[in-house]
Amino acid sequence: MEEYNFKVIEKKWREFWDKNKTFKVTEDLSFPEEKRIYVLDMFPYPSGNGLHVGHPEGYTATDIFTRFKRMNGFNVLHPMGFDAFGLPAENYAIQTGTHPADTTYKNIEKFREQIKSFGFCYDWDRELATCDADYYKWTQWIFLQLFKKGLAYEDNVPINWCPKCLTGLANEEVKDGKCDRCDSLIERKKIKQWMLKITAYAERLLDDLKLLDWNDSIKLMQVNWIGKSEGAEVDFTVEGTKNIIKVYTTRPDTLFGATYMVLAPEHPLVEEITTQEKRNEVRKYIDKAVNESDLQRTELNKEKTGVFTGAYAINPVNNVKIPIWISDYVLISYGTGAIMAVPAHDTRDFEFATKFKLPIIQVVSKDGKKYEMKEAEIEDGIAINSGQFDGLKTAEFKNKITQWLENQGKGKKAINYKLRDWVFSRQRYWGEPFPIVHCEKCGVVALDEKALPLTLPEVESYKPTGTGDSPLALITDWVNTVCPKCNGKAKRETNTMPQWAGSCWYYIRFTDSKNDRALADNKNIEYWLPVDLYVGGAEHAVLHLLYARFWHKFLYDIGVVNTVEPFMKLRNQGMILGENGEKMSKSRGNVINPDDVIDEHGADTLRMYEMFLGPLAVDKPWNTQSIYGVRRFLEKVWRLFEKPIEERVEISDENDKLLHKTIKIVTEKIDNLEFNTAISQLMILVNSMQKEEKINIDSMKTLVKLLHPFAPFITEELWEKLKQKPSVLFEKWPVFDPSKIIDDSLTIVFSVNGKLRDTVILTKGLSDEELINHALNNEKVIKHIEGKTIVKKIVVKDKLVNLVVK
């Protein structure tokens, strides 16, 4: 037999699959609903570096799962496309003058070829790229629907500005005060922005998480990001005026301990309530606060600052007069922009009160008594110094006082979220143009749906202006247009949409990617959605995954999709690290190029190696040595064919049992995405088959089928050697015979005082007494119990006997 020539084999089957459209999927109604599933990968951004070894990790996992499900009689939608708008192509354009479209489509070609070299079973007829006009036409269409429902609006608030990318960013794109993409320090800039009202969906985004089979850590990140808190809004009157300052608090039970009040420097009432003699000081403070960057303002361990306004507020629960201060530790963007300060029970207030010598009154106590406090006590306890509420436990007090405030008309129950609206415009070129014009007479006007797509015009320079205008602003003959409403003079919106826009709904488009009448046909949407299994990196926890859920819920509300959630089951693949255990990067010089590995070992080996490395979810370092283990395994399988493979060969009971056990284990493991241990089991089977002189043909067929999802190329070739018709993909997945895996004898453990003393093979189903007798007569056991009294005998049926002796 010739040697395992993966280059020839892989080329042959790649061409075969292409030519025969082996992976094409249709909306075949003969599949019952529960046999239609949608398995999706997070589509890649086609960067100029080509595919990274991290990409095929998730792709291989879903490919194995898809092939497995297809062989089990499922119709599986498994598509691939490209997240093709984005900054790298645009930055390259700025450097070289190459049109971002040229770079992008060239990179897509390369990516597609690389992805195909892995033999993934994508239906390539459904491929899409978010920068195609017939795709972004529908991205723009969705934006128009958001606009019509009042969920897209223009605002002029200070936003996160990246001085290197020269564009505004969403809150979700800022990490540690730095740009998520380029690590530059974020500045604050006030420019006119398109915002999406994601906050309108906060409660549903939070609540529906319970419907999802996602990693708890990802769900928790979304929970924290949405940041729901429950408390009360309380009205404080400004002494001597009719002005009311509303504060939000999660601890209304500490109202009696409020010794002062703090407004954010930007609070609208500051100007009005500040007294004459404090005016200068307050103005100076506000000027300083406004000019400080967000980072400076929120800097860790920064000493508290603030000034007294000269005004006083009246505490509604006890009519006590408390001073009103302003300080930058109160944020205008959260709650009401004003707080009641309870230094005894809030760390920040305690710090502030200590610095400015403001009174500290304890109102919560661990034991119901007053005592000296060295720091703020924020835990729940028993109320003291709180009038008629003394003695109440925190939770009860909260309810009572909130009710009391409501009865008095001085407050009410309130809920707040940390989630902010989504800053949706970017001051860059390579993105979807907004289908919006600004008319001198009519104001902001949406384009007619028939006018879509509004295509990106050609520009002379891709360079962002840096002034908050995108490069589109310079193309006057594109910018100047007529208003669709009044035909008067109008200017086009020159911002573009963020990269997240296209990825918010691509999974919908895959169900019907060539449709030019709708974003996808209803029938196809109903046939496939929601996505049953979604696999990708965890870095999108609060970005793509939150945005897409928001759009999906909106599309549900307007009747476009039929489910409330887009991705039912989500699994995150870990990172593949360099051999030194560090993140792979050019600068660290530890990058492994998948093309090189395929050239040296073949795609089957690379696929299996990445799966064998460890559990899908964890980070795993690459090891150039251990890939040989998988390579040897495949060669071992190949060499099984040097043995006579015949129908009449009797299989040993032992190997027959192992075969059926392997079917069971591999089936369960693939279903649970535990590929590393599934592969181990296949190795055990092959090691054992290799010891046989001759091999039974049915066993061989079973092995080829079990191996197929992991190593599609070699298995197609071996299937052909077995004189079978391609493709293995169309074969039925093997089923194990439960009667064959029952052990009639078992290894029983004998231990004394919990320590293993012997293992013996006994028949299945012995009674407790019989097992104990076996143990008591066991030589090694006797040695350890001699001269001692048996205090206790524990028996676990068919497993162990433990004797406790003294």
Residue 552: Cβ within 10 Å count: 26
Task: Give 313's Cβ-side CA count (13 Å radius).
Answer: 31
Please pick, from the candidates 457, 484, 537, 615, the single residue that binds RNA as defined by CB under 7 A.
615
- Applying CB under 7 A, does 251 fall inside the site for RNA? yes
Please pick, from the candidates 195, 344, 401, 542, the single residue that binds RNA as defined by CB under 7 A.
542
Toward RNA, which CB reaches closer, 338 or 473?
A: 338
- Applying CB under 7 A, does 80 fall inside the site for RNA? no
| Of residues 260-319, those binding RNA (CB under 7 A) | 264, 297-300, 302, 304
Please pick, from the candidates 243, 354, 563, 676, the single residue that binds RNA as defined by CB under 7 A.
676
Q: Quick one: which of 206, 213, 164 has its CA closest to 187?
A: 164
Kindly state the smallest distance separating residue 334's Cβ from RNA, in Å.
4
Select the span of 224-232, 445-453, 482-490, 518-526 touching RNA (CB under 7 A).
Answer: 224-232
Please pick, from the candidates 346, 377, 565, 731, the single residue that binds RNA as defined by CB under 7 A.
346
Please pick, from the candidates 221, 314, 373, 697, the single residue that binds RNA as defined by CB under 7 A.
221
Kindly state the smallest distance separating residue 221's Cβ from RNA, in Å.
5
Q: Quick one: which of 782, 739, 794, 744 has its CA closest to 766?
A: 744
d(CA 359, CA 381) in angstroms, rounded, equals 21
Toward RNA, which CB reaches closer, 112 or 418?
A: 418
Please pick, from the candidates 89, 533, 679, 772, the single residue that binds RNA as defined by CB under 7 A.
679
Select the span of 226-234, 238-246, 486-494, 521-529 touching RNA (CB under 7 A).
Answer: 226-234
Residues 214, 623, 44, 68: what is their CA dihedral angle, to the nearest 10 degrees?
-60
| Of residues 364-393, those binding RNA (CB under 7 A) | none
State the number of binding residues for RNA (CB under 7 A). Answer: 88
Select the span of 80-88, 89-97, 607-615, 710-718 touching RNA (CB under 7 A).
Answer: 607-615
Toward RNA, which CB reaches closer, 243 or 680?
A: 680
In contact, 805 and 755? CB cutoff 8 Å: no
Please pick, from the candidates 684, 760, 766, 776, the single residue that binds RNA as defined by CB under 7 A.
684
d(CA 626, CA 622) in angstroms, rounded, equals 9
Query: Exposure of 636 by Cβ count < 10 A (0-12 exposed, 13-18 middle, 19+ buried)?
Result: middle
| Of residues 749-768, those binding RNA (CB under 7 A) | 749, 751, 753-757, 759
d(CA 730, CA 712) in angstroms, rounded, equals 12
Select the span of 40-48, 72-80, 204-212, 788-796 touching RNA (CB under 7 A).
Answer: 788-796
Kindly state the smallest distance separating residue 803's Cβ from RNA, in Å.
8
Toward RNA, which CB reaches closer, 93 or 679?
A: 679
| Of residues 406-425, those binding RNA (CB under 7 A) | 416, 418
Toward RNA, which CB reaches closer, 94 or 800?
A: 800
| Cα angle: 173, vertex 176, 177; to 5 degrees | 75
Toward RNA, which CB reaches closer, 12 or 304?
A: 304
Toward RNA, which CB reaches closer, 106 or 418?
A: 418
| Of residues 91-110, those binding RNA (CB under 7 A) | none
Beta bridge partners of 800: 749, 796
Toward RNA, which CB reaches closer, 262 or 645?
A: 262
Distances (CA, A) of 655 to 36, 248, 351, 441, 746: 35, 70, 73, 84, 17
d(CA 242, CA 544) in angstroms, rounded, equals 46
- Applying CB under 7 A, does 331 fall inside the site for RNA? yes
| Of residues 155-174, those binding RNA (CB under 7 A) | 171, 174
- Applying CB under 7 A, does 690 fall inside the site for RNA? yes
Please pick, from the candidates 26, 480, 623, 773, the single residue that binds RNA as defined by CB under 7 A.
623
Select the span of 139-147, 498-506, 640-648, 791-799 touching RNA (CB under 7 A).
Answer: 791-799
| Of residues 476-505, those binding RNA (CB under 7 A) | none
User: Count H helices, E strands: the chain?
Assistant: 26, 33
Please pick, from the candidates 8, 182, 618, 742, the single residue that binds RNA as defined by CB under 7 A.
618
Please pick, from the candidates 323, 335, 381, 502, the single residue that binds RNA as defined by CB under 7 A.
335
DSSP 402-441: HHHHHHHTSEEEEEE-S---EE--BS-SSSPBPSEEEETT
Beta bridge partners of 325: 262, 308
**DSSP 3-state of 554:** helix
Select the span of 138-146, 159-167, 247-255, 701-709 touching RNA (CB under 7 A).
Answer: 247-255
- For helices 603-612 and 627-639, angle between their N-to-C axes, nearest 10 degrees: 120
d(CA 614, CA 37) in angstroms, rounded, equals 26
Full 3-state SS string of 99-145: CHHHHHHHHHHHHHHHHHHCCCCCCHHHCCECCCHHHHHHHHHHHHH
In contact, 411 and 249? CB cutoff 8 Å: no
Instruction: Verify cis geometry, omega within 30 degrees of 0, for the bond prior to 530.
Output: yes
In contact, 204 and 553? CB cutoff 8 Å: yes
d(CA 728, CA 712) in angstroms, rounded, equals 8
Kindly state the smallest distance separating residue 726's Cβ from RNA, in Å.
28
- Applying CB under 7 A, does 628 fall inside the site for RNA? yes
Please pick, from the candidates 133, 182, 220, 482, the single residue that binds RNA as defined by CB under 7 A.
220
Q: Quick one: which of 742, 800, 791, 746 has its CA closest to 768?
A: 800
Please pick, from the candidates 209, 538, 592, 697, the single residue that binds RNA as defined by CB under 7 A.
538
Direct distance between the N- and C-terminal alpha carbons of the chain, in angstroms, rounded to an integer: 66
- Applying CB under 7 A, does 49 fall inside the site for RNA? no
In contact, 104 and 57? CB cutoff 8 Å: no
Kindly state the smallest distance separating residue 209's Cβ from RNA, in Å.
14
Binding mask 310-329 for RNA (x = CB under 7 A): ------------------xx
| Of residues 547-586, those binding RNA (CB under 7 A) | none
Select the span of 34-42, 425-433, 471-479, 620-628 touching RNA (CB under 7 A).
Answer: 620-628
| Of residues 632-671, those binding RNA (CB under 7 A) | 632-633, 635-636
DSSP 325-345: EE-TTS-TTSTTSEEEE-GGG
